[in-house]
Structure 1
Amino acid sequence: MTSSHESTSLSRRSLLAFGGAATAGIAAATLTATPAWATPSNAGIDRPKDQGRMLRELRELEQSSSVRIGVHAVARGERRAFRYRADERFPMCSLFKPIAAAALVQERGYDDEYWSTPIPFTEDDLVQDSLVLAELDPRQASPEQLADAAIRFSDNTAGNLLLRELGGPSAITAFAASLGATDTRLDRWEPELNDAVPGDLRDTTTPDDIALLYSALILEDAAGVLASSRLREWMLRCQTSGPRIRAGLTPPYELADKTGGGSYGVVNDAGVLWRPGAAPLTLVILTRTDRPDAVRNNEVVAEATRIVVGR
């Protein structure tokens, strides 16, 4: 990598230097997620009182919802982050899609012919939750269309075709590791990668890693200026986060984010938030349960957003 990689590695040390090692048990997990939030000028909060409130309210939210929550929030330019279960593993689900698009833009971004040339696919390629590609006739889509459908609408077939262009799921693991996110791995394709079975390390990540990756890719040009520009364009117009992070925010704001969801009630949302008078805030909220019959609870993500960002 170029100097962007070096910058990202420094960013990882900054992001992760404040939480300490995780210990076993639920109580230990919450206590070791000691937050050190951004300065009041950036966050508009009183540090000690607000940190204690956020930790207490997140614990209460977990207890009332029976959902395990992981949070990483850090303002750009700040060395300190608010972290809650931030080094625990959660199913990644569709949060891989911006990473895949960024890797492809880094590799082929200035090849205009490539991005506009249709790529054929078949009926056998279509998988569930592919509302955009299922409507295409003939069955073909350009890489531009694939990235747009995968990120803005979380189209699963589009996500698989992006992975195919990159050489498969292992390309996401390698690309994430090249940016310093060594606890992120993608092993399977859509929709199996959303199985989210507790204890299965396949297709998992951590709030720390997603915060590192999204900060690096969207704000720090880690995959190049074009990649960060395109990701902002796609993610700012995300169509799937209305009941999640966006439901917990009060305008005015702009949010470039990506959602994900899976079995065992997994609901994820992560991105970068811009508000007037404040530094960009990278916000990651991942959830999971141990119950195979759990339904996805979008309100948990919305309420966690209110707790961390403010009502």
Structure 2
Amino acid sequence: MSWDPRQLAMLKEIGVLPWEPRDAGPADEGHPQAPAVEAAPAEAPAQPRQAAAPAIPAAPAAARQTPTQEPPQVPPRTTADPASVAPVAVHARRPTGVEQMDWPALREAVAGCQACKLCNGRRNTVFGVGHEQADWMIVGEAPGEQEDLKGEPFVGQAGKLLDNMLRSLALTRSEAPSTHQVFIANVLKCRPPHNRNPEPEEVAQCEPFLQRQVELVQPKIIVAMGRFAVQSLLRTGEPIGRLRGRVHRYHGVPVIVTYHPAYLLRNLPDKAKAWEDLCLAADTAAAASAG
């Protein structure tokens, strides 16, 4: 159907555009053809299907860079250089010349010793207490919590029991003549964490200190109390039960083996055995003094 110019003008005024056949040309240059409404596409001839591009995973947030940032420079992987590895903590060497030290020098060396890891957690070193030329020397194992706090061996309940045992023999750790006052020391001078057993390296580092103490005291008898004291002095792994009742030697000094007071507090029946050991020590010390 064709429209005359007047009809087209009227339709334009009311906003209606006439339908024109698809092949019809424009009405005229003064009235441009209305844009055709985009219809749903007819079924197009099948196109060859292309393989979908593989999905690229998003980079982690930490790795996303803004356009102005330089990408991180990653050094090439090389064989590890021993010099670049973090160094393992190395403890200072034990002071030299311990075998020639007098009492003041030995006390100072023990107080400043950093030869093993026990120095990291101690509050005080536990050097020893008593007469420096006592006839009797008591050797224990290692300081406990109370010993670490006070800086003195055998305190607390175990210390009270030891004092009672010594008092029964007219001995004391307090001020008294050398024949009645003992010297008390431990194998270790620092407390192991949580009162654990001493380790071989720790015993080895402290051994020269104890040996020098024995040389300076020159006791007539040593009473070794507890497994680690016995093993350190006698170089043996034998249990205390097999070593009791005999006289042993440490650098020529008689040694009597007995139980540690802390053990006796947990095993009261063995107190009678400990008394037998002290009687043997008294007889041995008397024989040494007479000879």
TM-score, normalised to structure 1, is 0.24
| Structure with the larger RCO, 1 or 2 (CA within 8 Å, 6+ apart) | 1
Higher strand share: 1
